[in-house]
Each structure stands twice: as C-alpha cells, then as structure tokens.
Chain A
C-alpha cells in the first residue's frame, strides 16, 4: 500500500465517521423539530436532547477534520473543489452556523422555542443534501476548466437526475440512520413510547432510501460507466450491504436486539460507502484530478501521518470516555442524574 492510498483511506474513514455521527445529529434535530411542531414533543424531545447535548460539538469536529485533512494530504483539492464549490460551500456553512448556534441558543437559553427548533431541524436536513452535491460533482461532467480555473456548470448540475437521486439518498439515509439509532437509545432508556414512534420513522425512511439507491445505480451507469463498472466488480460488498439492511429491518420489526440493529446499520453503510469509494479510485474529481497528481510532497505526508497516529492516541481514549459517560451510561440515558452546568 502506498502513502497516497493510506492518506485517502484515513480521510474516507473519517468522512464515514462524520456521515454516521452527523446523520444521527442532523436527523435528531429534524425529529425534534417535527415533534415540537406536531405536539409529540413530550415523547421525543427529552430523549433526543439528552443524547445530543454533550456531543454536538464533537460531531462538528469530524467535519472540520475531514476538510483540513484533505487539504493537507491533497492540496490541489483546494483549487478543484474550492473554486467551483463557492456557492454550495457557502450555503452549507451558513446552514451549519445557524444550526450550531441555534442549538446552543435553544438548549441553554430558551427551551422549547418553536422558531429556533424549526430552524435547527430544517437546516439539519438541508446540510446533508447540500454536502452530497460534492459527491455528485466529483463524478465528472459538471466542472470544466475555464480561463480562471475550474468552474461549476449549475444548469447541468441541477437538471441532472443523478444530483436529485443523491440528494434523496442523503436525506433518507440520514433520517433512517438517526431513527434507528434513537430507537436503540430510547430502548436503552426504557422509554417505550419514544421507541415505538422512532421505529415508525425508521420504517418510513427506509422506503425512499431503497428507491434512491436503485436510482443512483441506474444514473451512474450512463453518467460514469467507469465508476459503475468498478463498483460492480465489488458486487459482493453491495450484496453484503443489502443483506445487512434487510437484517436491520427484521430486527426492528421483531423488537429484538436493537444494539445489533445499530451494528448492522453501520455495517450496511460502511460496505456501500467503501464500495463507492474504492470504485472511485484513483479519481478525486473525474477526470481532472487523481489522488496521485494532487498528493502532497513526501515530507509533509510523513509529518501528517505521524501527527495523525499521535493524535489518535490522544483522541480514542477521550472518545471512549465520553461514550462511557453519556451514550453507554444507563443512568444518564434514563435521566437519573441531570448534572448539567
């Protein structure tokens, strides 16, 4: 394995981490707002807020980590993605700003404020949609190299069915992951009412998820045959992913082993995400940029890898600690000791 592949693998794993924790977070905000607007707040809000409060800032860091990492390992991405992404990128940032700050405003300032909660929830589902645009443009065909550098063709982007399939996929996947996770969390807290409601949401969002996945495969086949064929070479990963999805639905349906269901959800997305990513190799942005012609110099690569290993040594115990204290702590999940500042 060469260092370029190591670099992109590390980043891809972190992006996957962001997709999982981010989905839980974005979806939770959406369900929270939905609960408040439909007067189911009593059932949902406590369980959601108890999970979200100590970790909202951590979720954000996964994202920062990814984009700083990709500039570090692949500096040319700043030009090839930074320039065309000015508008979608700025919109993502504005949404993230609204979301992050209004979460704090709502939870610590004025509890149960409808306006804040709605802003928070709505921005939460728009962010994955906007972020997924990056994946679409990396498929090629939307960015051309003009006189002043790379340019994005908005008309082509927004009239492409591929774009919209990806948007539907990102929103439904986000809400599906979130609902499954919160079902498990509610079960842990012995909150059966919340559990049943969240389970319903999980079933509901599984449908567009399946439709979007099929849509994307069809679109990709004509849009970027190289990528499609390479993914098909790894058909066993995709089949594994589908089986795990069926397993999750079965476990939720039969009210058994919610912990295993969460594991299956993560596995399902992990295999699909890696099949997608490996199929994309060696391109970062098809066909302009590969991981080889954008890779940083040797000395920086080594410095970054060393820092990364040292950083993980610091990070993993800390992450384990926060999980142990809050997410895997029964008393905390049940709300037995509310010891917020």
Chain B
C-alpha cells in the first residue's frame, strides 16, 4: 500500500519544515524570557540601557515571531497532509497536548500584541512588564506541550492496540510518558541557552565593529552569564537523557555510541570514523567504562549493543556524528562562558581581546547548529519508527504522488523567508544604532521639560 517515493519526500519535506522552523521556534521560546530579564533589571536598577535593550530585542523579535508562527502553522497542518495515518492514531491518543498548545499559543499571541503596542502607554513601567509574563509563560508552555507530543512518539503509552483496534485510551498517561521529563527539560533549557548566546554574540559583534558604548558591554555580560547558567543546566539534563535512553530506547543510545556488542563496563567513544562494513572505528577517543557510567551511574553496568536488535529496527549509524557535534558545542560553550566570567572577575586581558570576542560571535550560530544536530539525532535516532514499536514511518505517510513537487515548493519558500528575515533584521538595526536611539530619546525628554 505504501508509495516509496511519497514516503521519501514526506520525510524530506517534514525535515525541511522542522529544520527551518526550529531556528525561529527556539528564538521564540527563549527571547521572551530574555526580554523579561532585561526589562526587570532595567526597572530594578533604574538603568535606561537595559530597558532599551529589552525594547530593541522585542523589535527584532517581531520578525522572528512572524516567521516562527507561519512555519509552525505550516508544520501543524503538514502533519495531517503528509502523515494522515499517523495523525489518525495520534488524534485518538495524543490530541490533548496538541489542543493545549493552541491555547498556549493563543494566549501568547494576544499578550505579545498588547506588549508590543503599549510601550510608553503606561505611566508605570512595571505594569508594562507584567504583560511579558503571560508572553513568556505562553511561549514556554507551547514548547512544553508540543514536546510532549514528540515524547509520546518516542515512548508511546496510554493506549492498547488489540488486533489493530485502539482501546483503553488514557490521554493524561499519554502526555506523561517516560521520555517526557528529559525531553521537555532539554528543549526548554537549550532554547534559553541558545538565545542567550545569540544575544551575547550580537553584543560581541557590535563591539568588534567598533562600538564603544557601555550598552553592549552590559548586554554581553548579562547574556554570557545567563548562557552559562542554561548551558550547565543543559548538560545536567542531557546526562539524564542518556540514562533514559539506556532504559527505554537502548537501540538509539547504541547507535549514537557505535556500541555493537552487549557488554559490561562499556567504553565511551568520542569522535572517530566508522567503517560500516567491518564495524571498525578509527581515530576515536575511547574512555574506558564511561558509557556504562553515563548510562546508569555504574562503571560495570551492562549496556545493550546494536547486534542484539533486529537489523531492520535500528537507526542509521551516522547519528554518532550528530551526537558528538551537539555535545562538543555544549561543552565548548560552558568553557567559553566560564572563561569569560572568570576573566571579568579577575581582570584577565583575555576578555578584552579581539579573538576571544570572535569566539563568542561564533558561539551564536554554533549553538543553533547544535540544536539542529540534537533534533536530527533525536528524530533520525528513532528510525524506522514514527511511533516507536507501534507504527513504522512507511505505514504512516500519504500515498499521494505529488509530495516531491510540494517539497520543492516549500524548500524555495523557506529559502525566501530565511533570506527575507535576515535582510529585514539587518536593515532594522543597521539604520538605527543604539547610540542614535539613545540620543533621540534624550532629545525628546528635554523637549518635554
């Protein structure tokens, strides 16, 4: 019944949409919190720089939100267009968090509209600040609910399948699956981390481009600090994810770690190149017994190997590279964050050097690449399943012959939207630097006096 090219192009199109969407979605989840913190500090310290920082981030945020909203809408509907059989089953079991997500999204949209259009309308800045709380709650809540759906796909439960018939559906149980806590936690903190490092990268870039204004210094310091906190949180939750995988999805862990034979005291493999035919690994860094330790806090615990699983139920082995990349960037960002903060406190010259700022600038895009790598790892890592142990990807896709054409159209669309948003954002900030905006505000104030 399945149509092979339709399955292939459905996967491709879904990958295009998600890969593009998560850039904007990650910003969408992280930025409201960052605006909130900047504005809060501004009110507390009575420092106009932080208020302006919040305002400028909010202005850029409108553009990213627009692209995030439309691609999110596209993805929501594409699920039914491309994976009708999956959505029929999912509708019966996992519709609840999907439904809740739309409420969170609604809530966020309303308050974001109000927030953006009421600057200077309230006498008291704190009142305006209050509007940000529902925005931040709404954006994080929608991430939580949609990640619950994804967690369900990885560790489905809350229903019984008897002879192809669904029975005993328990919507709440389907939301609270074993992979849910680690997934939700990981998605949230990485979104906060990524946006913090992105904003830090922008500040560092402005300083490199010659702006001496103290505004950028304050911004850099604030976001490096936040980035470090969330990077450490990410690492901790990432460790929990490893333990989850060992217990519930061992084939994903084994593929990500190139762990073929089940044994006790398994080694951790960092980097390396695999010859898939001979299963020989070259150029790796091998840390003895570390995999067992990471998977279960015991150096001699048994870790299941890939050879114990049927060949047609294991994910592709290239996910190891994705895993390495994601973890390396995470570790790198913790090191950079620590070096920066220690440098500030101990007056190291490093902090003022140009090359260190360039590293911070590179950190922005790198963390986004790590988010992409992490999602590819998570998604490709459960191949060939769309609903692990219940439904294969090939059984879920549409059988329509036109998916290839649609994939091409959407690819073009995403390129246009990507370029468009970058051009508009650049123009917005280039034509209106901080120095000028501050000056204008001061002129206005003196006019009023």
Contact = CB atoms under 8 A, between A and B. Distances in A.
B84 A78 contact: yes
Contacts of A58: 106, 109-110, 113
B121 interface: yes
Contacts of A96: 70, 73-74
Nearest to B95: A72
A76 B88 contact: yes
Interface in A313-327: 314-315, 318-319, 321-322, 325-326
A157 interface: no
A82 B118 CA distance: 40
A50 to B, nearest CB: 10
Interface string B98-125: 1111110111011111111111110000
Interface stretch (B245-253, B378-386, B405-413): B405-413
B76 A340 contact: no
Interface in B280-301: none
A263 B448 CA distance: 43
Nearest to B106: A61
Contacts of B120: 337, 339
A109 B428 contact: yes
A220 interface: no
B335 interface: no
Contact of A300 (B66, B96, B406): B96
Nearest to A92: B77
A1 interface: no
Interface string A98-132: 11111111001110000000000000000000000
A307 B1 contact: no
A333 to B, nearest CB: 12
Nearest to A81: B80
Contacts of B389: none
B87 A299 contact: no
B113 A57 contact: yes
A234 interface: no
B102 A90 contact: no
A308 B134 CA distance: 19
A89 interface: yes
A48 to B, nearest CB: 15
B169 interface: yes
Contacts of A63: 73
Most chain B beta-carbon contacts within 10 A, residue among A93, A102, A318: A93
B37 interface: no
A296 B167 CA distance: 11
A252 to B, nearest CB: 29
Interface in A325-341: 325-326, 337, 339-341
Contacts of B115: 341
A73 B92 CA distance: 8
Nearest to B115: A341
Most chain B beta-carbon contacts within 10 A, residue among A104, A147, A148, A321: A104
A292 interface: no
A58 B95 CA distance: 21
A144 interface: no
B393 interface: no
B402 A54 contact: no
A100 B24 CA distance: 14
B350 to A, nearest CB: 36
Interface string A200-227: 0000000000000000000000000000
A94 B73 contact: no
B80 to A, nearest CB: 4
A318 B134 CA distance: 10
B80 A72 contact: no
B273 interface: no
B333 interface: no
B119 A339 contact: yes
A65 B106 contact: yes
Nearest to B167: A297
B65 interface: yes
A326 B117 CA distance: 9
B141 to A, nearest CB: 11
B182 interface: no
Interface in B365-405: 398-400, 402-403
Given A147-B1, A341-B59, A57 B84 contact: no
B424 A64 contact: no
A94 B409 contact: yes
Contacts of A314: 103, 107
B12 interface: no
A109 B113 CA distance: 17
B81 A82 contact: yes
B74 A93 contact: yes
Interface of A: 53-55, 57-58, 60-61, 63-65, 67-69, 71-79, 81-83, 85-87, 89-90, 92-94, 96-105, 108-110, 147-149, 151, 296-297, 299-300, 303-304, 307-308, 311, 314-315, 318-319, 321-322, 325-326, 337, 339-341
The 3 closest A-B pairs by CB, nearest first: A75-B91, A148-B399, A104-B66
Given A103-B66, A148-B2, 16 more contacts: A54-B113, A57-B65, A61-B102, A71-B87, A75-B90, A97-B71, A97-B73, A100-B70, A104-B67, A105-B424, A108-B424, A109-B63, A297-B166, A300-B92, A300-B169, A341-B115
20 contacts: A57-B69, A68-B101, A71-B95, A75-B92, A82-B84, A82-B87, A87-B400, A100-B70, A101-B421, A102-B420, A104-B65, A105-B424, A148-B1, A149-B398, A304-B96, A322-B113, A322-B114, A325-B117, A337-B120, A339-B117
Interface of B: 1-3, 55, 58-59, 62-63, 65-67, 69-71, 73-74, 76-78, 80-82, 84-85, 87-93, 95-96, 98-103, 105-107, 109-121, 134, 166, 169-172, 398-400, 402-403, 406, 409-410, 413, 417, 420-421, 423-425, 427-428
